[in-house]
A and B are shown apart, each in its own frame.
Chain A
Amino acid sequence: MALLCVAAGAAALWLRERARNRRLRSQLETAATELEHLQRSFSRFAPDEVIERVIAEGPTSQGEKREVTALFADLVSFTSLAERVEPSVLVRILNGYFERMSAAISEHRGHVSTFLGDGILALFGALAPNPWQSDDATDAALAMRQAMVEYNRELMAQGLPALAIGIGLHRGVGVAGLIGSQELMEFAVVGRTVNIAARVQDLTRQHDADILVTEDVKRALAPRFALRELPPASLRGVDRPVAVHAVLDVARGDAAS
Chain B
Amino acid sequence: MTLVRDIAWDTCLLRPQRDPEIVRDLRREIGTPVGPGCFYFAAAPWMPSALARLNRAMLDRTHLDRDLIDWIGLVVSQESSCRYCFATQRAMRIGMGTSPAEMDRLERDFLVAARSDRERAALEFTRRVARANPLATGEDRDVLLRAGFSEDETREILVHIALGVFFNRLSTQSALPPQPMERMPDKWHLRLLQPLIAIRLRRMRTKRAPATLGPIDGPFAPVLRSFDGLHAAPPLRDFVDQLWRSEDVPRRGLALVFAVVARALGCRQGEASARALVIEEGMAPEALARVLDHLDGPELDRFEQVALPYARETAWVQAAQVTRLQRLARDAQAKLGEAEFVTLLGATSMANALCRVGATLPAD
Return the CB mask of A1-45 against B: 1 if under 8 Å, else 0.
Answer: 000000000000000000000000000010011011101100110
8 Å CB contact of B108 from A32, A49, A128, A131: A32
Question: Per-position contact with A for B118-144: 1 when CB-CB < 8 Å, else 0?
Answer: 000000000000010110000000000
Q: Can you spell out 21 A-B residue pairs with CB atoms less than 8 angstroms apart? A: A29-B108, A33-B1, A35-B108, A36-B3, A43-B318, A48-B131, A49-B133, A49-B134, A55-B112, A127-B133, A128-B315, A128-B316, A129-B266, A131-B263, A131-B264, A131-B266, A131-B293, A132-B295, A135-B294, A224-B294, A224-B296
- Expressed in whole angstroms, the minimum distance between the Cβ of B90 and any Cβ of chain A is 16
CB distance from B174 to the nearest CB of A (A): 22
Pairwise interchain contact B312-A132, C-beta atoms closer than 8 A: yes
Q: Do most interface residues of chain B lie in helix, strand or loop, or is the interface mixed?
A: helix
B residues near A, CB below 8 A?
A: 1, 3, 105, 108-109, 111-113, 131, 133-134, 263-264, 266, 293-296, 312, 315-316, 318-320
**Chain A residues with CB below 8 A from B111, complex form:** 32, 35-36, 39
Tell me if A185 is interfacial: C-beta within 8 Å of chain B: no
Q: Are A32 and B294 in contact (CB under 8 A)?
A: no
A220 within 8 A of B: yes
Interface assignment of A58: CB less than 8 Å from any CB of chain B: no
Known interface pairs A29-B105, A35-B108, A36-B112; 8 further A-B residue pairs with C-beta atoms within 8 A, sorted by A's residue number: A29-B108, A32-B108, A32-B111, A39-B111, A40-B319, A128-B316, A129-B133, A224-B294
- Residue from A32, A48, A128, A220 in contact with B112 in the complex, judged by beta carbons closer than 8 Å: A32
The residue of chain A having its C-beta at the shortest distance from the C-beta of B321 within the complex is A106
Q: How far is the CA of A223 from the CA of B131 in the complex (A)?
A: 32
Which residues of chain B are within 8 angstroms of A36 by Cβ–Cβ distance?
A: 3, 108, 111-112
Verify A32–B133 contact, CB threshold 8 A: no
What 1/0 flags go to A211-222 for Cβ under 8 Å of B?
000000000101
Q: Across the interface, which residues of B come within 8 angstroms of A47, CB to CB?
A: 133
When chains A and B are docked, how far (Å) is the Cα of A127 from the Cα of B316?
11
Do A44 and B320 touch across chains, with their CB atoms under 8 A apart? yes
Q: How far is the CB of B77 from chain A (nearest CB, A)?
A: 15
